[in-house]
Structure 1
């Protein structure tokens, strides 16, 4: 449904979505992610960000073990830090 909506806005066939090469090693995919980050003012996750997230999570786990809550809070941190969240489930 989302794909069809966006395709309609762009005046494209939604079937093009299936043709897009989603692999991380694909140059277009990497280039498009970079363009999106730049447009929204985000940056890639760094080792320092990972350290900060680890420190934050250690502080949070003592209060809750609700994984969904912690994931949502981590996503909020990524938005606050203007960092692209990991593309793998965390």
Structure 2
């Protein structure tokens, strides 16, 4: 039973967090908290298609599992810095190794439009839209933008605006059609009345 528990990390198979041959080349000669933090960033990104936003997003069991592989005390993960040049370099290493690139402002606009056109008509929760956006970024090999919630909001707002315009446009068309029918009926009634008057005069 103990072996099975150790083999499961956050509900994932152990292979998800196992450092492979190519991973060790990236780990290189890093030491201490830097070594452990990098290993966890790498394996987290491989699974999620994004980097963790803070240490709390990394399962404790994963920390222990990777720490055992890199021979670093797991408590040192608390010393890993989540801002600064070191983590920026680590993120670049991971992106380059996995074939991803950083997102741009243009990407954000394209993603918002994609959400509005393809996803918002079918998905109605922010959580569902966020999950779809992350999957899309992974497919396109783009590191998800830091402003995911803003993109979700922009996509929803665009969808709602276009939906309202379509509804108003449809109503306008129906109103114009109804007016045309009434007008034609009125013209028909007028023509019939005029014809009867002319016949009576004769």
With the shorter chain as reference, the TM-score category is: 0.7 to 0.9
> Which residue matches 1:5?
65
Which of these residues, 88, 101, 111, is aligned with residue 30 of structure 1? 88
Highest CA radius of gyration, 1 or 2?
A: 2
Of structures 1 and 2, the one scoring higher in RCO (CA 8 A, sep 6+) is 1
In structure 2, stretches of 5+ residues that fail to align are 1-60, 150-202
Q: Relative to 1, partners in 2 of residues 1:2 and 1:34: Cα closer, same or farther, differing over 3 Å?
A: same
Q: CA RMSD in A?
A: 1.5
Structure number with the higher helix fraction is 2
CA contact (8 A) 2:67 2:74 kept: yes
In structure 1, stretches of 5+ residues that fail to align are none
Q: Secondary structure at the match of 2:74?
A: coil
Q: Relative to 1, partners in 2 of residues 1:88 and 1:48: Cα closer, same or farther, differing over 3 Å?
A: closer
Structure 1 residue runs of 4+, over 2 Å off?
Answer: 86-90
CA contact (8 A) 2:101 2:143 kept: yes
Equivalent residues in 2 for 1:54-65, closer than 5 Å = 54-59=112-117, 60-65=119-124
Q: How many equivalent pairs are there?
A: 88
Q: Secondary structure at the match of 1:15?
A: helix
Equivalent residues in 2 for 1:34-73, closer than 5 Å = 34-59=92-117, 60-73=119-132
